[in-house]
């Protein structure tokens, strides 16, 4: 058991790094499961940041698009707050050295993405925004004396005393194993550890992002929100890789078309906006083609051609590694788990329902995304709430007079990692039963299988956290007897106007639903 005067930030993606800098010179400890800059969803983000930067565009228009895409469950006040702050964050990142794409006159080059009413997505070299923003923040963090980064360390649980979060349980990754957990008491904990995409067998997320941070907050008693709303990206590259490389939405914004193995360009018959329809619609259309055995693909040849090499280097590189030339061949795609709109319920200051615990980024559910995230709003939300959480922590806690010395933790070998076959089984059941299209019977089956997997590995905190998140997703999907946004029920294909509200529950609530489902099945 160790005590620190540092604010502990769990996660070293964009939200965690941005919050640490906003807290400076207050002392901070960042917990990173990888070497800084590796393994974070932020670094993989090909999309840019949505912001009303163009002449004639407004934050109000951006907020309207956000509310419309969210299918009736967006918190309009949060949407207004976030979109109003967007421009300032773009300017701050520019001042910090982020090389956003600019024209000869110095104006930001803006891209048009799905469900936006105008071009408003600021990018870096086409598909390099996440990586370049992370490089900028990492360099600044490395040069900030108040920030200590502890790499190859994971959070496995929260310490709660009299209803308040007072610390975190940490373990060090050791080769193929993990240490026993160490209890670290801290004045404040900020969770910024990503989403849940890796709980699915087909995902665009980094391998370690499997809902652990959401799960540890839920196991501590935090209120969760919108857990059923998992966004599936319609154009993950179907190249046999895990995780699946992403064919950024900007390709469709530039005119790339979806085609199946019969040569049919199928989106025009699905929606008036065709390839630029909201992601949930495009994802279900792509999934339907896959289910029908008509392998869907993205055709960039006519719209972009050889320019794809320079304008979209990440896409080009992934294609070439698979022996495919995107200027002359179509890119096979599939719908893959990409972003979680749900998470730990937070208020406008980033506070969770547990005093002492703040959450930002994909692990949080602020109400911005509703049932279906508007493209390139994810990075924006992380920036806005990382700063707001940091500002609130400043007001909630006073720094010590002297800078604390670098923290060392007494890790001992002997911890328990999840069994690989159990993780594989969990991922496949989530894709098969809690994926793009769901049914009540399938969700009940999923809950029963999650319960069995969880009970077979009681000594692995990481796996318990994964199962907690999986349980919350499946239970909320079972409880929402309608189709809305990214949540689709084959047995309830219509949207019910009476259910146009966010879902909120605790893990105990979800476990009761799970037990009822298991009982009904037997």
Catalytic center residues = 279
Distances (CA, A) of 514 to 65, 221, 372, 482, 508: 36, 17, 25, 19, 10
DSSP 327: T
How many CB atoms are closer than 10 A to CB 495?
Answer: 16
Copy the structure tokens of residue 171: 């373990």
Query: Do 344 and 217 meet the contact criterion of CB atoms below 8 Å apart?
Result: yes
Structure tokens at 234: 């319609």
Asked if 11 and 193 count as a contact pair (C-beta separation under 8 A), the reply is yes
SS3 418: coil
Helices 129-142, 378-396: inter-axial angle, 10-degree rounding? 20
Which residues partner with 171 through β-bridges? 154
DSSP of 355-380: TTEEE-GGGEE-SSSTTSPPTT-HHH
> What is the 8-class DSSP label of residue 109?
P
- Polymer length in residues for the chain: 522
Q: Is 245 helix (H, G, I), strand (E, B) or coil?
A: coil
Nearest Cα neighbor of 381 from 357, 351, 355, 361 is: 361
Residues whose CB falls within 8 Å of the CB of residue 14, separated by 6 or more in sequence, listed in order: 40, 42, 45, 130, 133, 134, 137, 361, 379, 382, 383, 386
Q: Cα-flanking dihedrals φ and ψ of residue 144, to 5°?
A: -105, 110
Q: Are strands 230-237 and 357-359 parallel, antiparallel or unpaired?
A: unpaired
**Residue 178, beta-bridge partner list:** 173
The residues, any chain, with a CB within 8 Å of residue 508's CB and separated by 6 or more, are 221
């Amino acid at each position: 058991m160790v005590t620190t005067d540092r604010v502990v930030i769990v996660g070293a993606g964009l939200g965690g790094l941005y919050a640490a800098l906003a807290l400076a010179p207050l002392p901070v400890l960042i917990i990173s499961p990888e070497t800084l800059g590796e393994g974070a969803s932020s670094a993989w983000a090909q999309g840019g940041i949505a912001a009303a930067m163009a002449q004639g565009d407004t934050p109000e228009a951006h907020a309207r698009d956000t509310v419309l895409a969210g299918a009736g469950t967006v918190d309009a006040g949060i949407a207004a707050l976030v979109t109003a702050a967007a421009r300032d964050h773009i300017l701050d990142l520019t001042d910090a050295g982020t090389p956003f794409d600019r024209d000869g006159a110095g104006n930001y080059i803006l891209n048009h993405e799905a469900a936006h009413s105008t071009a408003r997505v600021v990018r870096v070299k086409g598909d390099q925004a996440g990586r370049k923003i992370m490089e900028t923040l990492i360099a600044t963090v490395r040069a900030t004396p108040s920030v200590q980064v502890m790499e190859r360390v994971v959070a496995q649980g929260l310490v709660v005393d009299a209803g308040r979060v007072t610390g975190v349980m940490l373990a060090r990754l050791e080769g193929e194993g993990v240490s026993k957990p160490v209890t670290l008491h801290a004045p404040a904990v900020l969770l910024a550890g990503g989403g849940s995409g890796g709980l699915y067998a087909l995902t665009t997320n980094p391998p370690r992002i499997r809902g652990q941070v959401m799960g540890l907050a839920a196991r501590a008693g935090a209120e969760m929100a919108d857990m059923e709303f998992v966004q599936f990206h319609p154009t993950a590259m179907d190249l046999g890789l895990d995780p699946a490389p992403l064919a950024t939405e900007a390709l469709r914004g530039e005119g790339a078309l979806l085609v199946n193995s019969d040569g049919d360009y199928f989106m025009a018959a699905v929606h008036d906006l065709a390839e630029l329809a909201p992601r949930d619609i495009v994802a279900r259309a792509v999934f339907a083609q896959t289910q029908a055995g008509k392998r869907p693909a993205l055709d960039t040849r006519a719209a972009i051609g050889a320019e794809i090499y320079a304008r979209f280097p990440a896409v080009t590189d992934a294609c070439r590694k698979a022996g495919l030339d995107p200027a002359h061949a179509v890119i096979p795609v599939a719908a893959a788990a990409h972003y979680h709109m749900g998470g730990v319920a937070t208020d406008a200051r980033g506070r969770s329902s547990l005093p002492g615990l703040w959450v930002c980024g994909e692990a949080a559910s602020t109400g911005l995304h509703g049932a279906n995230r508007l493209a390139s709003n994810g990075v924006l939300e992380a920036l806005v709430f990382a700063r707001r959480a940091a500002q609130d922590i400043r007001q909630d806690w006073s720094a010590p007079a002297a800078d604390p010395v670098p923290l060392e933790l007494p890790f001992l070998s002997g911890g328990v990692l999840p069994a690989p076959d159990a993780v594989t089984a969990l991922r496949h059941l989530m894709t098969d039963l809690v994926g793009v299209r769901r049914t009540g019977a399938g969700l009940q089956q999923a809950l029963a299988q999650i319960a069995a997997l969880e009970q077979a590995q009681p000594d692995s905190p990481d796996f318990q956290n994964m199962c907690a998140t999986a349980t919350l997703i499946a239970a909320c999907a079972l409880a929402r007897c309608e189709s809305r946004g990214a949540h689709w029920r084959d047995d309830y294909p219509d949207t019910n106007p009476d259910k146009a509200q966010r879902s909120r529950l605790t893990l105990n609530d979800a476990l009761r639903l799970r037990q009822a489902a298991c009982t009904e099945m037997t």
